[in-house]
């Protein structure tokens, strides 16, 4: 039976987890106890949030695995935080395809390295899949940086993503309704030169008020 994509992604993560758990048992050592989780959160939202769901960071990307789902199952199976941290570091250094049938690894290896990788791993391990973790308060600039900046350039946000259109170029002149539609249903109007299906639809992720706040932020950012 072929599993839904999100479940296949979880199985890949848990497979990596088993290897890390075995190594941890042999070495008997803890991972980075002094890692800077605050910096890890910042780096995660900037570098990873556009592709991964992680409630604690307020990110909703669906290109890569849902980290809450993956590590909720892992914690229920008895995996501890140190092992989860090791799994995340392993995946950062040597990411696997989102789907075993895929030939493309969507996530580049070593997106963060050294102490930055340690910080990201420690942060993810501290919140992923934990019961009771709530999304942070919605703040449009922070939501954009976490969920959109990895794919879009926006000068006011300091983001330089090039997977999707440069918003400084395409947003001026657009109405609030047009911008809202491109966020809620990106397949409704595809920008020339960019493929369909890459950007997630946020119709079910953002409340009407949050969508309005994000549209206002984008308009203000490009001088509208």
Cβ neighbour number for residue 118 with a 10 Å cutoff: 23
31-83 pLDDT, tens digit per residue, is 456 689 999 998 998 888 878 899 999 888 877 889 999 999 889 989 999 99
Strands of the chain, DSSP E: 53-54, 59-60, 153-154, 159-160
91 domain residue, yes or no: yes
Cα separation, 213 vs 138, in Å, equals: 9
Choose one of 99, 127, 155: the last residue of a domain: 127
Q: 224 burial class (0-12, 13-18, 19+ CB within 10 angstroms)? A: middle
Instruction: For residue 169, give the H/E element and its range.
Output: helix 167-170
The mean per-residue pLDDT over the stretch 132-146 comes to 89
The verdict on residue 134 lying in a domain is: no
Assigned domain for 217 exists = yes
With respect to residue 135, please indicate whether it lies within any of the assigned structural domains: no
| 147 in the same domain as 85 | no
Q: Are residues 34 and 122 in the same domain?
A: yes
Same domain, 90 and 45: yes
Q: Which two tokens stand for residue 110?
A: 């070593």
pLDDT of residue 97: 66
Predicted confidence at residue 183, as pLDDT, reads 94
Q: Are residues 94 and 174 in the same domain?
A: no
Per-residue confidence (pLDDT) for residue 204, from 0 to 100: 82
| Whether residues 214 and 105 fall in one domain | no
Query: E strands, 37-128, where?
Result: 53-54, 59-60
Maximal C-alpha separation, the chain = 61
User: Do 168 and 113 lie in a common domain?
Assistant: no
Same domain, 117 and 58: yes
Say yes or no: 56 and 98 in one domain: yes
Using CA atoms, how far apart are residues 18 and 180, in angstroms rounded to an integer? 43
Q: Does the residue 132 lie in any domain? A: no
For residues 12-28, one letter each, b for 16 or more C-beta atoms within 10 angstroms of the residue's C-beta and e for the rest, the string is: bbbebbeebbeebeeee
Please check whether residues 170 and 108 belong to one and the same domain.
no
In a domain, 157, yes or no: yes
CATH number of the domain where residue 155 is located = 1.10.760.10
- Domain end, chosen from 65, 97, 127, is at 127
The chain-wide mean pLDDT, for the chain, equals 82
Residue with tokens 């599993």: 3
133 belongs to a structural domain: no
pLDDT of the residue at 23: 40
Look up tokens 């307020």; give the residue: 58
- Contacts of 25 by beta carbon, 8 Å cutoff, 6+ apart: none
Give the three-class secondary structure for 160: strand
Whether 5 shows a pLDDT value over 70: the answer reads no
Same domain, 92 and 119: yes
Look at residue 124 and tell me whether its pLDDT is greater than 90.
yes
Given 93, 127, 161, the domain boundary residue is 127
Query: Over the stretch 144-184, which tens digit does the pLDDT of each residue have?
Result: 988 898 889 999 999 998 889 999 999 999 999 999 999 99
Question: Is the model more confident about 126 or about 98?
Answer: 126
Mean pLDDT over 96-120 rounds to 79
**57: closest CA among 118, 120, 112, 7?**
120
Residue 92 located in a structural domain: yes
Domain span at residue 172?
140-221
How many domains does one find in the chain?
2
Domain check: are 78 and 49 in the same one? Answer: yes
Query: Are residues 81 and 31 located together in one domain of the fold?
Result: yes
Position 220 confidence tier, pLDDT thresholds 50, 70, 90: very high
CA distance 199 to 205: 13
């Amino acid at each position: 039976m072929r599993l839904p994509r999100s479940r296949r992604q979880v199985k890949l993560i848990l497979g990596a987890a088993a290897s890390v758990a075995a190594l941890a048992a042999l070495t008997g050592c803890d991972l980075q106890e002094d890692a800077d989780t605050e910096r890890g959160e910042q780096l995660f939202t900037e570098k990873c949030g556009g592709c991964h769901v992680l409630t604690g960071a307020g990110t909703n990307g669906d290109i890569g695995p849902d980290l809450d789902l993956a590590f909720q199952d892992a914690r229920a199976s008895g995996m501890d935080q140190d092992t989860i941290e090791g799994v995340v570091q392993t995946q950062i250094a040597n990411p696997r395809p989102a789907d075993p049938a895929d030939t493309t690894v969507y996530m580049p290896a070593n997106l963060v390295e050294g102490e930055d990788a340690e910080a990201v791993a420690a942060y993810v391990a501290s919140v992923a899949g934990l019961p009771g973790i709530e999304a942070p308060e919605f703040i449009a600039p922070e939501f954009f940086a976490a969920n959109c900046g990895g794919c879009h350039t926006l000068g006011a946000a300091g983001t330089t993503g090039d997977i999707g259109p440069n918003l400084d170029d395409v947003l001026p002149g657009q109405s609030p309704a047009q911008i809202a539609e491109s966020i809620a249903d990106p397949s409704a109007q595809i920008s020339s030169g960019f493929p369909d299906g890459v950007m997630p639809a946020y119709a079910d992720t953002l409340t009407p008020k949050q969508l309005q706040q994000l549209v206002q932020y984008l308009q203000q950012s490009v001088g509208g």
